[in-house]
Amino acid sequence: MIPWKEIDRVKVPENESEVTLHVRDQEFSIRTAGTELMNSRIHGSEDALAELACSRLNPKSNWQILIGGLGMGYTLAAALEQSGPDTQILVSELIPAVVRWNREHLGHLAGMPLDDPRVRVEEEDVVKTIGRSKLAWDAILLDVDNGPAGLTRKANDRLYGKFGLKASFEALRPGGILAVWSSGIDEAFTRRMKLTGFKTQIVSVRARKSGKGSKHTIWLGVRP
């Protein structure tokens, strides 16, 4: 078997942990502390995050979409595929190296989505992006820290806790959708979404596009 090769290693801003990029033949992996966060062969649920959210938006042009977490670019690519030519998408990515990895190593995997003129990237915590927004977005797509139960960074409590959900609610336009990816279910988070005012739906999706692999969870919350 072909061994994995480490391409790069960087520290997470405001954190002592590190993330690493690995390659094996044509397969890429992003990891932290020996745990795989994402793999280029397994992205069905990342695609579904964008597909499920966009399919529930009112059919119109010039959507404004915010994506928290670039990953390997699959969610961004799926959002672009679902969107019209007037859509504008902002990606907030905390780790600058992840943006660089997408430009230098990973972009071809999802069809070079960062090269699309509809896309802008800000290298900052999506918490800050949401916090300065009011009635700004038709959709907010979050794939940060393995979901609400991860909480490996203190800032994620501000994202998935009651104050973070309130900020997302206020940042959405009426009829806008908050879509949240998670590796597993979290009943407490579901209750927080409903208490915030979101009309909430939970969808279970498979990790692989083929319908196989682990089950992941996507919350879809509509601001009435």
Give 94-140 pLDDT, tens digit per residue.
999 999 999 999 999 999 999 999 999 999 999 999 999 999 999 99
Q: Check residue 13 and give its pLDDT.
A: 81
Q: Check residue 153 and give its pLDDT.
A: 53
Q: Check residue 19 and give its pLDDT.
A: 93
139-194: pLDDT as tens digits: 999 998 778 875 455 557 789 999 999 999 999 999 999 999 998 899 999 999 99
Alpha helices in the chain (DSSP H): 44-55, 74-82, 96-101, 126-131, 155-160, 162-171, 187-196
State the average pLDDT for the chain. Answer: 93
The structure tokens 């999706």 sit at 205
Return the CATH number at 144: 3.40.50.150
**d(C-alpha 55, C-alpha 11), whole Å:** 36
Helix, coil or strand: residue 107 = helix
Residue 15 lies in a domain: no
Specify the number of domains making up the chain. 1
Model-level pTM?
0.94
Q: Check residue 151 and give its pLDDT.
A: 43
Give the domain extent around 59.
Answer: 42-222
Of 79, 96, 98, nearest to 88 by C-alpha is 79
Beta bridge partners of 23: 5, 28
pLDDT band for position 12 (cuts 50, 70, 90): confident
**d(C-alpha 17, C-alpha 32), whole Å:** 7
Helix, coil or strand: residue 40 = coil
Report residue 160 as tokens. Answer: 């998935």
Residue 29 lies in a domain: no
Residue 6 lies in a domain: no
Residue 31 lies in a domain: no
Helix, coil or strand: residue 96 = helix
